[in-house]
Structure 1
Amino acid sequence: MQSKIQRVYSVFRKKKIIIAFSGGVDSSVIAILAKKSADKVICCTLYHPLLLDDLEEIKKVASEINVDWRIIEIESIPNKIIEKNPKNRCYICKTNMMKYLIEYKNRKNFDMVVDGTNYDDLNKFRPGIKALKELGVVSPLVAAKLTKREIRDIAKSYNLSVAQKSPTTCLLSRIPYNEKITKEKIEMIKKAENFLKKDLNMSLIRVRTHNLAKNNFLARIEAKKEDIRRIIRSNELTTLIISKLKEIGYNLITIDLEGYHENYVK
């Protein structure tokens, strides 16, 4: 493990770096290690209401790490993503987003933009990784071959609150490919997931949102297996979820019995 950490240090040493900061365990570990070896570090969170729900949690993590943290607002999402929602939307979106960081890096006269892609991500469906390579964004965790488990171990060693944090993904991932993305759908997803997380204490939740017909929506709830069992065994809980999600705007509410699928929309 130490040799891998030294590899990360070597990427940062005597460099001024911009970190694409999500507040998750990967980018938080990047920030911790960068502070120890880079000349200067700025963590930047790219924000657009269709992509991120709440900045407060990210702000708390940045404060915990005691890092220079900035918010960069994204002016717009490419129309092709909104209207067509193609299978390569992550590639298109990542290309658009990272250009903001590269422009910021150039204005600040820094050396590089880095992100938190880890070694395990190379074995998953991650169209955005192609965009990172094309734009010259550096992925130190990949270079050091650090796996998710190892990254969590590093986070634990620094007592980071996000060491066991459930993975977070862009809100667009809740909507199946080729279905139009609308502000209405995103707002429904935000409200539904916040209710399940905060009111019902479900840490890993995805409310996949499908069009049944015009203005008719199906919610397919993905959760940890233990939370699925908890829902199924409680008529009171089931009734509460149905009532709340219908109030939010869903017409049909379902539970995916296979549980949580990472970055997966059927």
Structure 2
Amino acid sequence: MKILEQLEQQLASLGPLAVAVSGGVDSMTLAVVAHRVNPQVEIFHAVSAAVPRQATARVKQYAKREQWRLNIINAGEINDPDYLANPANRCYFCKTNLYDTVVSQTDHLVLSGANLDDLGDYRPGLDAAKEHQVKHPYVDAGIDKATLRAIAKHLSLTDLYDLPAAPCLASRIETGIAINPELLPVINETEQALWDRLQLSLPIKGIRCRLRKSGVAIELQTSEDIDTSADYALEATKIVSDRFTSHGFAKYTAHITIEPYRRGSAFLVETLTVE
């Protein structure tokens, strides 16, 4: 696979490396390739209330299988008032805390799993990466999301190449609503319960449980029309209400909706300040 060979050659030319992995297909595939090129590469994974436990479990599984030099870190973004305020550039503060922590623990060149497609979005985390001299091998090699998934498939990473996107749990909170670290694991737990129930009734590719000023929105990524009067929809609403209430967040459940999935719908671009 020519593009993989080009990526490997690029990585081999960079010297001692460290890869920041989230547990998603982008950074995990990069870590696999980088480690096979240079077994001395250091792998960093940050854990916090915003990181789905499934992602951390995946990282640990791969670390054992691939014999990574894995460093589990706490980047401390949950203690950052700027992050908790949940502004439009929240990701900048998250990545700043992450890279501050990583570069304090290694003198290796830090790599991220950002790909070519990411350059077309508003990604304040890329500003933090630039400030910390983080390199993006996929971008430099002209690799987009589809291509990196093809690389993962070529490498027989069967549990990665078609892995659905799973951004941090803070992305479920509408811009401007303060991040409550105690709520994030509840959202993750609720999404898992919704998945377990709804996959029995719908061909689902993804679920998001989003907190908005108006209440809770259940977003379903499915090829079928959503019938909000169907039994599965009523059960989904009950799952959200029960989970939130049992953890002390009943105040958010007065208005629960079921809607088609919209990528990044909790991000309100109009809150950006133009200078």
TM-score by length of 2: 0.83
Per the alignment, residue 33 of structure 1 pairs with 33
Contact 2:205 2:222 in 1 (8 A): no
Letter of the structure 1 residue corresponding to residue 208 of structure 2: R
Q: After alignment, is 53-62 or 242-251 more displaced?
A: 53-62
Aligned pair 1:47/2:47, yes or no? yes
Separation (CA, whole Å) in 1 of partners of 2:161 and 2:64: 15
Deviations 1:174-209 (A, max 9, x none): 111111111343233122112123443444221111
Deviation for aligned residue 1:251? 2.5
Give the deviation of 1:28 after TM superposition. 2.0
User: Which residue does the alignment assign to 1:251?
Assistant: 254
In the TM superposition, residue 64 of structure 1 has moved relative to its aligned partner by 4.1
Identify which range, 19-28 or 202-211, moves more after superposition.
Answer: 202-211
Shift of 1:44: 1.3
Native 8 Å contact 1:222 1:256 kept in 2: yes
**Match for 1:118: what amino acid?**
N
CA RMSD in angstroms, aligned pairs only: 2.3
Shift of 1:13: 3.4
Give the alignment partner of residue 131 of structure 2, picking from 109, 130, 134.
134
C-alpha change, 1:147 and 1:264, in structure 2 (3 Å) is farther
What is the SS of the residue equivalent to 2:227? helix
Q: Are the structure 2 counterparts of residues 151 and 50 from structure 1 closer, same or farther at C-alpha, using a change threshold of 3 Å?
A: closer
Off by >6 Å, runs of 4+ in structure 1: none
Q: Which moved more, 1:238-247 or 1:194-203?
A: 194-203
Report the more deviating stretch, 239-248 or 34-43: 34-43
Q: 1:149: how far off? A: 0.8
Q: 1:121 aligns with which of 118, 121, 129?
A: 118
How far 1:39 moved relative to its partner? 5.7
C-alpha displacement of 1:97? 1.1
Rate the CA distance shift 1:221–1:72 in 2: closer, same or farther, 3 A.
same
Give ranges in structure 1 of 5+ residues lacking alignment: 213-217
The aligned residue for residue 260 of structure 1 is: 262
Distance 1:5 1:72 in 2: 31
Which residue in 2 is equivalent to 1:215?
none
- Kept after mapping to 1: 8 A contact 2:173/2:266: no
Matched, 1:242 2:240: no
How far the C-alpha of 1:50 sits from its partner, in A, is 3.1
User: What CA distance in whole angstroms lies between the structure 2 residues aligned with 1:153 and 1:144?
Assistant: 14
Go from structure 1 to structure 2 and tell me whether the alpha carbon gap of 1:237 and 1:167 turns closer, same or farther (over 3 Å shift).
Answer: same
DSSP-derived class of the 1:224 partner:
strand
Matched position secondary structure for 2:217 = strand
Say which SS state the counterpart of residue 18 (structure 2) adopts. Answer: strand
Alpha-carbon distance in 1 for matches of 2:22, 2:35: 17
Does the Cα contact within 8 Å between 1:222 and 1:260 map onto a contact in 2?
A: yes
Q: Residues of 1 paired with 2:118 and 2:77: CA distance?
A: 27
Q: Does 1:15 align with 2:15?
A: yes
**Counterpart residue number, 2:88:** 87
Residue 148 in structure 1 maps to residue 150 in structure 2? no
Residue 213 of structure 2 aligns to a residue in which SS? strand
